[in-house]
Amino acid sequence: MARVFNWQLGREMSYWYPESRPQRQFAAVFDTNKCIACQTCTLACKTTWTSGKGQEYMLWNNVETKPYGSYPLAYDIKLLEMLNGQQWSGAKYEGQTLFESAPAGERVLGWRPEQRDYAYPNVGEDDCAGQVDHGEFLSLPHMNWFFYLPRICNHCTYPACLASCPRGSIYKRQEDGIVLVDQGRCRGYQECVRGCPYKKVFFNPMTGTSEKCIACFPKMEQGITPQCFENCIGKIRLSGYLSPPGKARPDNPIDYLVHIRKIALPLFPQFGLEPNVYYIPPIHAPVSFNQQLFGPGAGEAMKAYRNAMNDPDLASLLCLFGSTEKVINRYHRQGELAVAADEKGVELVRVPMREPVHIRPAVDQKNQLVRINCP
């Protein structure tokens, strides 16, 4: 194994191949506080990419309810148990990654879901025990809160699927860091399904190959966001490209949220894959739970998000989520306006930080009419 640097762990780690960062890295920020689990993203992806034979069960994009939801079943709990409790020391991960804890004969610490594990994509949906007048009917470890976790492939810097494939059928594109399964080369061994901790590679029994989220690369190549971003009615998603930590640009929205403000955090960084979908943690969930999911920065991220209304630069950027179907490469704040531009600097959209409010009097004095509120 080679030694590579994983900035999310604050240290070097072992990986199957030497460090080879792409020219630029596809990345995304999901604001969990805005997601309503309408699954429009799921369907946008499903109808676009996985409507074929053998793809029936696949959800390249899914939205699960935390703490009890997961797709496939218990994908996260199972691996956390296998990792057997590891420690952070401040921002540095002292525990073992999936590569470092690979048993003898394996490339990665992994497991493969059974068929039934895919049968309950909405298990735990909206499961939350809230206060009721006469006390709770049942008592669970996580009471009174839940949130929605939308998930796609993380297009990791150190993909475990890529490391797991014994014949090099998975590759990470140099031009944008998107991770793809070569459908001409794959022989369906399902090692990638076993290796990916997020379980975002799926075996197609009809073609005998494994398939996964492609970050809608035909769209990204044209500067247009993927289907699950463009169709998100909650406007929780922002796509773009992430720079390495030392080269972060404050006018790059993803860099600003991830590297500069550290408000958007990776999912299960302790696995060691350097995933590139970043989450703004849910501010109403317990810090300890968020730390388990998003690493030690969760508490600070929650504070910063809570304070966003007093933080115009941050607030203006949050207003740009879902404001255009184009990929935003640059942004700046102009007073009360958030202004987005593409990589050539051409303006894409400007969004007011506060929507103008107009109140119409109930009586139209000019025409002497009473206005009726009706749809």
Partner 1 sequence: MRYTILLVALFSAACSRAPKAANEVVAVASAKVPAQPDDATWEGAPEYTAKLVPQDLVEPRLMNPSTPEVRVRSVTNGSEIAFRLEWDDESKNDMPGPSRMVDACAVQIPEKTEKDLPEPQMGQEGKRVQVTYWRSDWQATVDGRGDTIRDIYPNATVDHYPFQSKALEKGSDAEKEMAQRYAPARALGNIRSGPRSQPVEQLVANGPGSLSPGEPLSAKGKGAFGKKGWAVVISRKLPEGLSANQRTHIAFAVWQGQQQESGARKMRSGWVSLLRKGE
Q: Report the residue from 130, 184, 246, 361 that binds partner 1 according to the rule CB under 8 A.
A: 184
Side chain identity, residue 236: I
User: Least CB distance from residue 369 to partner 1, whole Å?
Assistant: 49
Q: Which is nearer to partner 1, 114 or 126 (CB)?
A: 114
Measured between alpha carbons, how far apart are the two ends of the chain, in Å? Answer: 64
- Are β-strands 25-31 and 277-280 bridged in parallel, bridged antiparallel, or unpaired? parallel
The C-alpha atoms of residue 62 and residue 228 are separated, in whole angstroms, by 10
Question: Is residue 196 within 8 Å of residue 112, measured between CB atoms?
Answer: no
Side chain identity, residue 190: Q
Does 218 engage in binding with partner 1 (CB under 8 A)?
A: no
Give the count of alpha carbons within 13 A of 339, CB side only: 9
Stretch that binds partner 1, among 20-28, 139-147, 184-192, 284-292 (CB under 8 A): 184-192
User: Least CB distance from residue 105 to partner 1, whole Å?
Assistant: 4
CA angle (317, 309, 351) in 5-degree steps: 35
User: Least CB distance from residue 201 to partner 1, whole Å?
Assistant: 10
**Taking every pair of C-alpha atoms in the chain, what is the biggest distance, in angstroms?**
85
Q: Report the residue from 6, 164, 225, 252 that binds partner 1 according to the rule CB under 8 A.
A: 164
Question: Is residue 80 within 8 Å of residue 269, measured between CB atoms?
Answer: no
Binding mask 113-132 for partner 1 (x = CB under 8 A): xxx--x--------------
Q: Report the residue from 92, 187, 284, 371 that binds partner 1 according to the rule CB under 8 A.
A: 187
Does 39 engage in binding with partner 1 (CB under 8 A)?
A: no
Q: Report the residue from 32, 61, 157, 209 that binds partner 1 according to the rule CB under 8 A.
A: 209
Stretch that binds partner 1, among 132-140, 160-168, 245-253, 363-371 (CB under 8 A): 160-168
Q: Which is nearer to partner 1, 2 or 309 (CB)?
A: 2
- Are β-strands 201-204 and 2-6 bridged in parallel, bridged antiparallel, or unpaired? unpaired
Stretch that binds partner 1, among 202-210, 286-294, 317-325, 338-346 (CB under 8 A): 202-210
Question: Is residue 17 within 8 Å of residue 3, measured between CB atoms?
Answer: no
Q: How many residues bind partner 1 (CB under 8 A)?
A: 40
Closest among 192, 213, 209 to 150, alpha carbons compared? 213
**Tokens 């109403």 label which residue?**
284
Site residues for partner 1 per CB under 8 A: 50-57, 104-107, 112-115, 118, 164, 166-168, 183-191, 193, 202-209, 211
